Structure 1
Amino acid sequence: MSENESRPVVVGVDGSAAARAALEWAVEDARRRGCRVDAVTAWHPDYGFVIGAVSAEVVISMSPEAMRAAAQAGLDQAVEGFEGVEVRPVLVEADPRTALVEASKDAELLVVGNRGHSTIVEAILGSVSSYCVHHASCPVVVIRAPETEQEERPAAEAAVPLTPGPLL
Structure 2
Amino acid sequence: MSTTGEREIVVGADGSAGSEAAVRWALAEAAASGRSVAVLRAWTFDPLADLESALARSYEEIASRYRHELDGSVARACPGADPARVRTGAVAGAPGPALVRASADAAMLVLGSHGHSRVLRMLVGSVSEYCLRQARCPVVIVPARSAEERGPLPDVGAARPGPLL
Pairs within 5 Å for 1:56-135: 57=52, 60=55, 64-80=59-75, 81-84=79-82, 86-119=85-118, 127-135=126-134
In the alignment, the residues of structure 1 paired with residue 90 and residue 37 of structure 2 have an alpha-carbon distance, to the nearest angstrom, of: 13
* Offset of residue 99 of structure 1: 1.5
Give the CA RMSD over aligned residues: 3.0
- Residues 1-168 of structure 1: matches in 2 within 5 Å? 5-48=5-48, 57=52, 60=55, 64-80=59-75, 81-84=79-82, 86-119=85-118, 127-146=126-145
Aligned residue pairs, count: 140
Q: Aligned to 1:79, what secondary structure does the other structure show?
A: helix
Identity of matched residues, %: 40
Distance 1:59 1:30 in 2: 37
Unmatched 5+ stretches in structure 1: 150-168
77 and 49 in structure 1: CA distance in 2 versus 1, 3 angstrom threshold? closer
Mapped to 1, the partners of 2:107 and 2:7 lie a distance apart of 5
CA contact (8 A) 2:109 2:140 kept: yes
After superposition, the Cα gap between the structure-2 partners of 1:105 and 1:83, relative to the gap in structure 1 and judged at 3 Å, is same
Task: Say which SS state the counterpart of residue 73 (structure 1) adopts.
Answer: helix
C-alpha distance 119-67 of structure 1, shift in aligned 2 (>3 A): farther
> Over alpha carbons, which structure has the higher Rg?
1
Residue 159 (structure 2) aligns with: none
Output the CA distance in 2 between the equivalents of 1:22 and 1:12.
Answer: 8
SS for the counterpart of 2:142 is strand
Task: Give the whole-Å Cα distance in 1 for the aligned partners of 2:56 and 2:138.
Answer: 37
Structure 2 counterpart of 1:86, one-letter code: R
Q: TM-score, structure 2 length as denominator?
A: 0.71
